[in-house]
């Protein structure tokens, strides 16, 4: 709170970028964690909350006729344009936000003060919700070829890897230690995903310290052990996700890539995903296009093309597809790296796993995937997301690109994912919010040092509580789709308005079809529960005539089977009186009306049948591999 000199400013205007309506007028508040704007003119109290950690930049613009403009850009792509009447107030809010949005110490992050009134036991249970050992066991590990080892328990092999890693059984400790000395930052080849159908594996590491001619016997033995752990293939791929020129430039610094002459039976391949600096620049250009006041179609499409953003998304997707095809179709194991193995490598390995395994397309599976490939394996969230005041050149939208790749897959396979777009947006928001401990720091060791697991809460239980509103109503279940084979031709990629223009309400259609369908399904479930409850009460009603009982039974059966009913009104205020036979007066009213309602249900039943036809059509098209455009 010491950074807040002016906690409240009145008569502040909030401009709307996309509509010509009059600017809102209200009061701006600064708290320890949020900027809160409350509109004074709104009939219903309207509030805009901006978390300090979400703020990327704060700009003071030149004086305007209405006052002193303050432009706030957020990491979740919210843009807020305030106009403050007094220059002093504007400057003090500006100064406070600069300090509040760029904490210097990790202990100043929101997660360390966030208190959801949860018991210590429940917090600990929340952290144990995701157990990576269980996921490896699901893959059949340990087995004859792979083992989970604690060789890194004291972080002696690699201080950015977790204490337990999965390596080939044939690779003894000497091989592991020797290989770590030949890999950048000690990030040796470890297992990412095992495809049980044919024993082909996806492994990941960092670049070798090969320079122009150096070699390492232990590293060569490590790759041989990975290849031999898949007896069904005579070779393995080694994939460098960098452009070839970038990898060659690293040779001059004593790093580089594997020489095929030194490693038995490997096939080396460059993929060509650009580095973090190119991606940061590309996103900035994309956001400039999104913020154009009233662009022509030509301006928008030209700007989108010039940003190169979708081209980069396609490059990441192509790499994931190559890995999945190598594993499934060629039955070959793949070793993936970039420079240090924590950016492009994480994108590609997690995307390939998602394509190969339907488990990772469920709520729990997607959480496991992020924990395994991003959090445990040392993606530098703190640096890439700019959680603390630091080098701006370390910031890059690496995780944002992965989330978008998942969304692009959801457009092509709308029935293959248990979760919806909102789930992706919630995760993306909380990567930057610092409200939960999962994404703080850069690696497991740093999280242990910060006592993340004792002092903060996990995001995953919080999301599972909201599961009903984050589910995909089109999901066909775990077994409907096994491997996904997306189309990666340019026309298959769409601009994600829901991410980059999410907060610009004037741009969106009034109702999303999937949101409407989710609402219908939710309503149907409530009504089925209500109908079931009424059926259970029927035996307690006083003596209906046999013919009436039969009629009621049939009506009750029809109610329970009807997919869509009128919305029942819940009782408000005092509960209805209970009759002598144990039923409530309200129940009797319901039964009296049930026949009339049953007639009305026929119309609504047809409405939901139309929804069902839509699901079947989308499902059929997705299985044919056709991209969906809505």
Q: Which residue numbers are catalytic?
A: 338
CA distance 373 to 381: 12
Give the phi and the psi of residue 502 in degrees, each rounded to 5.
Answer: -60, -35
Query: Is 54 within 8 Å of 75 (Cβ atoms)?
Result: yes
**Is the alpha carbon torsion for 54, 57, 60, 64 positive or negative?**
negative
Residue in the block written with tokens 């006592």:
451
In 246-348, beta strands by DSSP E: 266-270, 333-337
Q: Which helix (H) or strand (E) holds 8?
A: strand 8-15
- Residues 520, 524, 530, 531: what is their CA dihedral angle, to the nearest 10 degrees? 140
Residue 378: count other Cβ atoms within 10 Å of its Cβ. 24
What is the Cα–Cα distance from 355 to 334, expressed in whole angstroms? 15
What is d(CA 183, CA 208) in angstroms, rounded to the nearest whole number? Answer: 4
Contacts of 12 (CB under 8 A, 6+ apart): 25, 26, 27, 28, 37, 82, 83, 84, 85
Q: How far is CA 520 from CA 84, 465, 515, 563, in A?
A: 44, 20, 9, 9
| Tokens standing for residue 343 | 């950016």
CA separation for the pair 489, 629 (Å, rounded): 14
Burial grade of 560 (CB within 10 A; 0-12, 13-18, 19 or more): middle
430 vs 457: CA distance, rounded Å? 12
- Quote the tokens at residue 593: 């009306």
Q: Nearest-CA neighbor of 338 among 284, 365, 378, 381?
A: 378
Query: Could you tell me which of 121, 383, 350, 367 has the C-alpha nearest to residue 276?
Result: 383
**540: Cα separation from own chain's centroid:** 49
CB 136 within 8 A of CB 369: no
Which SS3 state, helix, strand or coil, does residue 506 take?
helix
């Amino acid at each position: 709170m010491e950074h807040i000199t002016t906690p409240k400013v009145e008569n502040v205007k909030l401009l709307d970028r996309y509509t010509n309506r009059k600017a809102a007028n209200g009061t701006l508040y600064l708290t320890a964690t949020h900027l809160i704007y409350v509109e004074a003119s709104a009939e219903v109290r309207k509030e805009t909350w901006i978390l300090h950690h979400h703020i990327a930049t704060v700009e003071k613009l030149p004086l305007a006729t209405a006052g002193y403009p303050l432009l706030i850009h957020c990491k979740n792509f919210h843009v807020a344009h305030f106009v403050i009447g007094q220059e002093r107030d504007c400057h003090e809010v500006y100064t406070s936000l600069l300090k509040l949005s760029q904490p210097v110490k990790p202990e100043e992050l929101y997660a360390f003060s966030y208190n959801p009134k949860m018991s210590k036991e429940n917090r600990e249970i929340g952290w144990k919700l995701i157990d990576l050992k269980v996921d490896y066991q699901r893959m059949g590990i340990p087995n004859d070829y792979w083992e989970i080892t604690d060789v890194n328990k004291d972080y002696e092999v690699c201080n950015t890897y977790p204490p337990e890693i999965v390596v080939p059984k044939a690779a003894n400790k000497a091989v592991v230690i020797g290989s770590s000395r030949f890999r950048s930052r000690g990030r040796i080849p470890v297992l990412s995903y095992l495809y049980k159908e044919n024993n082909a594996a996806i492994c990941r590491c960092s670049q070798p310290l090969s320079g122009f001619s150096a070699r390492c016997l232990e590293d060569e033995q490590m790759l041989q052990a990975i290849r031999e752990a898949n007896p069904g293939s005579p070779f393995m791929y080694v994939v460098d996700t960098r452009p070839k020129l970038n990898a060659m430039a690293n040779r001059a610094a004593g790093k580089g890539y594997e020489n095929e002459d030194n490693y038995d039976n490997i096939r080396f391949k460059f993929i060509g995903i650009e580095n973090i600096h190119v991606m940061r620049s590309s996103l900035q250009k994309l956001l400039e296009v999104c913020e154009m006041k009233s662009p022509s179609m030509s301006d928008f499409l030209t700007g989108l093309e010039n940003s190169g953003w979708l081209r980069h998304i396609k490059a990441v997707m192509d790499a994931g597809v190559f890995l999945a095809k190598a594993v499934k179709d060629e039955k070959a194991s793949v070793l993936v790296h970039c420079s240090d193995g924590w950016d492009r490598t994480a994108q590609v390995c997690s995307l390939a796993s998602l394509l190969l395994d339907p488990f990772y397309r469920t709520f729990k599976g997607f959480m496991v995937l992020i924990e395994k490939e991003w959090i445990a394996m040392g993606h530098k969230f703190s640096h890439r997301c700019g959680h603390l005041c630091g080098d701006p050149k370390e910031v890059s939208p690496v995780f944002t690109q992965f989330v978008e790749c998942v969304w692009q897959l959801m457009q092509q396979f709308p029935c293959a994912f248990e979760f919806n777009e909102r789930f992706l947006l919630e995760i993306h928001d909380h990567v930057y919010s610092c409200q939960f401990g999962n994404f703080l720091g850069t690696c497991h060791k740093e999280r242990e040092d910060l006592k993340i697991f004792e002092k903060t809460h996990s995001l995953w239980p919080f999301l599972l509580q909201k599961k009903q509103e984050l589910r995909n109503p089109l999901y066909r279940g775990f077994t409907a789709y096994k491997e996904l084979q997306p189309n990666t031709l340019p026309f298959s990629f769409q601009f994600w308005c829901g991410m980059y223009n999410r907060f610009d309400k004037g741009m969106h259609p009034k109702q999303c079809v999937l949101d409407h369908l989710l609402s219908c399904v939710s309503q149907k479930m409530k009504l089925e529960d209500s109908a079931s409850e009424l059926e259970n009460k029927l035996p307690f009603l006083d003596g209906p005539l046999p013919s009436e009982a039969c009629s009621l039974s049939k009506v009750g059966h029809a109610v329970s089977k009807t997919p869509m009913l009128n919305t029942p009104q819940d009782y408000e205020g005092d509960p209805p009186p209970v009759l002598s036979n144990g039923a409530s007066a309200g129940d009797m009213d319901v039964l009296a009306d049930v026949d009339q309602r049953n007639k009305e249900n026929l119309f609504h039943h047809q409405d939901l049948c139309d929804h069902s036809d839509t699901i079947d059509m989308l499902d059929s098209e997705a299985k044919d591999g056709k991209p969906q455009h809505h």
